[in-house]
């Protein structure tokens, strides 16, 4: 959403106390990027920040208002309040009436100051929501705090994620805090991959299910649970996998975990106990999952991906005993592993290899038939991992593993000694949503929305990034675009961020050299924001070329 136009420079919102709460299951079009409580505004958490009710946050008294240049003065004071954190992204400014009365200036002065901030892209007028902070100037870099050294693994065979760094976010490669730093960076438009449309989270259905679960719950369910997961959820997941992923397993084969991220961490000691010191990874392939493996001291030799999937001949040549794969929708290229490659992988596993299958967004497909999980072909030498992060919300931190039988006990130990098992209540709520068909309904709803957003992104790329090649559009929550090699993608991503648009440079997800590109999430942003964000990327690329 662009700055407010002349006709509606700023709006006085309703009394903050009467502002409409986020409607559960709110329709797509009503959610703008940057709206408090939506996924679009980095730093604008759900539930919205409180409004600044009066002028207290400015720490001014009416006597300090200068005789002339009042609007200029007020705009400066407001910018200062944003820069030092007194006014945060998502916060609503006081109404012009209230602020004018408190500072004893005319409303025109306040309106003019707000208009200037709006022209700078720092605030945005919302008809009923008042004037809201949407971007704050970047704070001065923090003094080096002397980060604690990253603990070393018992036997360091792999490369640790680089320690956190300061300076331009993308220059110099990703540190261990890369995703946190990007999440915290202020931006108007968020095209970071990896999230579904979070404004579609089925709040009402979740609340209904939670109420039903609580009313049925016996007191012993409030004690410690089975570290492997609540039996009811393990059954619901087994049924879900049969219906949606072609996998037939018994509930006792399912282990409930806190997402794929935790699944990988739980695997560290189990792989080591099995004599494995590394896991080969796809290239390009997910930076996040690679970092999780490296944190456990595991080596992550890269294996290139071509248009059929991972090069199994190269995998064999690395001598790696295990490989992490995203076969249904390769991250980030979107390649579907071909039938021949699947057979080659099955042969590699039969020769003693172990496959870690990350089935991260397989349910989201638009123009192609479903692709069954590799686990449907292979049980003994494959550890399957999935989660609700791309179906409902990453914040739930609920996922599942179907490990090979020989790893089941070791993984149960790892889970027990990590956290005694996932929180029970959300497990039971999720089980209920799965049993009632609500999760399938959610998937159908998301498919429609995501497809419209995907189409908007393809159109925007064609219009603003001519010559760029789009990869992996048939499924998923993101697109990857590659472009001619004259501009490094980290420079482009930094330039985009400086203009209020965040995304991933493709090189974050590479260990081997390759074309520059961007990984652009479309699922979490409305079509208007997608079009505007890609236009910004196009302008930035032209300026850097
Ligand atoms: C390819 C891939 N796998 C796994 C994950 C982690 O997912 P989870 O939330 O289940 O830990 C991500 C996160 O975005 C991802 O991109």
Residues of the chain with CATH 1.10.10.10: 16-133
Q: Quick check: CB of 422 below 6 Å from ligand 1?
A: no
Residue 209 to residues 23, 258, 298, 434, Cα–Cα distance (Å) = 17, 20, 40, 10
169 Cα–ligand 1 center, Å: 21
Of 286, 327, 523, the residue with max ligand 1 atoms within 8 A of its CB, to mutate for a pocket test, comes to 286
Instruction: Report the atom number in ligand 1 closest to the C-alpha of 386.
Output: 10
Q: Quick check: CB of 337 below 6 Å from ligand 1?
A: no
Q: Which of 3, 41, 2, 1 is nearest to 22 (CA)?
A: 41
pLDDT of res. 10: 46
pTM exceeding 0.85: no
Query: 533 forms bridges with which residues in the sheet?
Result: none
91 Cα–ligand 1 center, Å: 30
Is 516 a residue whose pLDDT tops 50? yes
Instruction: Report the atom number in ligand 1 closest to the C-alpha of 258.
Output: 11
Q: Quick check: CB of 392 below 6 Å from ligand 1?
A: no
Instruction: Report the atom number in ligand 1 closest to the C-alpha of 286.
Output: 1
Of 180, 182, 194, 284, the residue with max ligand 1 atoms within 8 A of its CB, to mutate for a pocket test, comes to 194
CATH class of the domain whose range is 178-200+441-544: alpha beta
Query: Does an H or E element contain 99, and which?
Result: helix 96-103
- Summarize the confidence of residues 483-488 as an average pLDDT: 94
Burial of 101 (0-12, 13-18, 19+ CB in 10 A): middle
pLDDT of res. 35: 32
Q: Quick check: CB of 508 below 6 Å from ligand 1?
A: no
Q: What residue owns the CA closest to ligand 1's atom 7?
A: 260
Residue 46 to residues 34, 38, 50, 88, 477, Cα–Cα distance (Å) = 11, 6, 11, 14, 21
In which band, very low, low, confident or very high, does the pLDDT at 162 lie, cut at 50, 70 and 90?
A: low
- Residue 305 DSSP class: E
pLDDT of res. 47: 41
Contact 198, 24 (CB under 8 A): no
Structure-block tokens of residue 16: 């903050």
Instruction: Report the atom number in ligand 1 closest to the C-alpha of 332.
Output: 1
Q: Quick check: CB of 266 below 6 Å from ligand 1?
A: no
| Length of the chain in terms of residues written | 545
pLDDT tens-digit map of 459-475:
999 999 999 999 999 99
Burial of 488 (0-12, 13-18, 19+ CB in 10 A): middle
In which band, very low, low, confident or very high, does the pLDDT at 442 lie, cut at 50, 70 and 90?
A: very high
Phi, psi (degrees; rounded to nearest 5) at 134: -115, -15
Q: Which of 248, 206, 193 is nearest to 364 (CA)?
A: 193
pLDDT tens-digit map of 71-88:
988 888 888 887 777 777
358 Cα–ligand 1 center, Å: 8
User: Please, what sign has the CA dihedral across residues 493, 498, 192, 465?
Assistant: negative
- Summarize the confidence of residues 472-491 as an average pLDDT: 95
Query: 195 forms bridges with which residues in the sheet?
Result: none
In which band, very low, low, confident or very high, does the pLDDT at 160 lie, cut at 50, 70 and 90?
A: low
Average model confidence (pLDDT) across the chain: 85
Portion of the chain with pLDDT greater than 90, in percent: 68
Q: Quick check: CB of 38 below 6 Å from ligand 1?
A: no
Q: What residue owns the CA closest to ligand 1's atom 13?
A: 194
Query: 320 forms bridges with which residues in the sheet?
Result: none
3-state SS class at 384: strand
Structure-block tokens of residue 238: 């087994």
Q: Tell which wins on pLDDT, 197 or 29.
A: 197
Burial of 509 (0-12, 13-18, 19+ CB in 10 A): buried
Of 261, 290, 523, the residue with max ligand 1 atoms within 8 A of its CB, to mutate for a pocket test, comes to 261
Residue 533 to residues 119, 464, 527, Cα–Cα distance (Å) = 18, 10, 10
Q: Angle, to 10 degrees, between the axis of helix 438-464 and the axis of helix 424-435? A: 90
Is 31 a residue whose pLDDT tops 80? no
Is 382 a residue whose pLDDT tops 80? yes
Q: Quick check: CB of 394 below 6 Å from ligand 1?
A: yes
pLDDT tens-digit map of 105-116:
999 999 998 888
Question: If you count DSSP H runs as helices and E runs as strands, how many of each does the chain have, helices first?
Answer: 15, 16
435 Cα–ligand 1 center, Å: 24
pLDDT of res. 156: 39
d(CA 373, CA 289): 19
Portion of the chain with pLDDT greater than 70, in percent: 84
Residues of the chain with CATH 3.90.1150.10: 178-200+441-544
Query: Does an H or E element contain 402, and which?
Result: strand 399-402
User: Please, what sign has the CA dihedral across residues 238, 241, 242, 246?
Assistant: negative
396 Cα–ligand 1 center, Å: 13
Q: Quick check: CB of 195 below 6 Å from ligand 1?
A: no
Q: Tell which wins on pLDDT, 530 or 150.
A: 530
pLDDT of res. 49: 61
Is 123 a residue whose pLDDT tops 60? yes
From the candidate CATH numbers 3.40.50.300, 3.40.220.10, 1.10.10.10, 1.10.3470.10, the one assigned to the domain spanning 16-133: 1.10.10.10
């Amino acid at each position: 959403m662009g700055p407010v136009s002349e006709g509606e420079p700023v709006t006085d919102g309703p009394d903050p106390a009467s502002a409409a709460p986020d409607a559960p299951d709110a329709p797509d079009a009503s959610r703008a990027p940057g709206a408090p409580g939506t996924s679009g505004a980095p730093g604008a958490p759900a539930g919205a920040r409180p409004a600044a009710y009066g002028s207290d946050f400015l720490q001014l008294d009416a006597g300090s208002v200068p005789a002339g240049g009042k609007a200029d003065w007020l705009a400066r004071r407001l910018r200062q309040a944003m820069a030092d954190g007194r006014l945060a992204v998502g916060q609503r400014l006081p109404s012009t009436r209230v602020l004018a009365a408190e500072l004893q200036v005319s409303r025109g002065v306040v309106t003019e100051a707000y208009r200037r901030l709006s022209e700078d892209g720092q605030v945005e007028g919302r008809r009923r929501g008042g004037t809201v902070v949407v971007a704050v100037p970047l704070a001065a870099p923090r003094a080096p705090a002397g980060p604690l050294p990253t603990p070393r693994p018992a036997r360091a065979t792999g490369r640790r994620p680089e320690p956190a760094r300061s300076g331009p976010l993308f220059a110099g490669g990703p540190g261990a805090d890369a995703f946190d730093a990007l999440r915290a960076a202020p931006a108007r438009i968020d095209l970071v991959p990896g999230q579904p449309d979070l404004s579609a989270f089925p709040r009402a259905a979740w609340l209904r299910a939670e109420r039903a679960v609580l009313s049925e719950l016996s007191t012993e369910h409030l004690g410690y649970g089975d570290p492997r997961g609540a039996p009811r959820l393990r059954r619901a997941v087994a049924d879900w996998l049969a219906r949606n992923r072609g996998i037939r397993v018994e509930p006792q084969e399912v282990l409930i975990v806190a997402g794929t991220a935790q699944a990988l961490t739980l695997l560290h000691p189990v792989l080591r106990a099995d004599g494995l010191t590394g896991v080969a990874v796809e290239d390009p392939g997910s930076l996040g999952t690679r970092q999780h493996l490296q944190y456990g001291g595991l080596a992550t030799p890269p294996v290139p991906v071509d248009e059929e999937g991972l090069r199994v001949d190269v995998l064999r040549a690395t001598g790696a005993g295990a490989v992490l794969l995203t076969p249904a929708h390769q991250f980030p290229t979107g390649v579907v592993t071909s039938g021949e490659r699947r057979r080659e992988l099955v042969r590699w596993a039969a020769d003693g290899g172990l496959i870690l299958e990350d089935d991260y967004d397989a349910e989201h497909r638009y123009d192609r038939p479903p692709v069954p999980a590799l686990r449907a072909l292979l049980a003994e030498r494959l550890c399957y991992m999935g989660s609700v992060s791309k179906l409902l919300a990453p914040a739930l931190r609920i996922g599942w593993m179907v490990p090979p039988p020989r790893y089941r006990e070791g993984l149960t130990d790892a889970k027990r000694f990590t956290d005694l098992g996932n929180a029970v209540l959300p497990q039971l709520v999720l089980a209920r949503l799965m049993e009632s068909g609500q999760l399938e309904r959610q998937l159908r709803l998301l498919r429609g929305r995501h497809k419209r957003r995907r189409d908007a992104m393809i159109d925007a790329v064609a219009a603003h990034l001519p010559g760029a090649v789009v990869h992996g559009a048939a499924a998923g929550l993101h697109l990857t675009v590659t472009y001619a090699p004259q501009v490094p993608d980290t420079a482009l991503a930094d330039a985009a961020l400086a203009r209020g648009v965040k995304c991933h440079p493709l090189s974050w997800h590479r260990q081997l050299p390759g074309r520059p590109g961007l990984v652009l999430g479309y699922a979490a942003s409305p079509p208007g924001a997608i079009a505007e964000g890609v236009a910004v990327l196009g302008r930035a690329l032209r300026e850097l070329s």
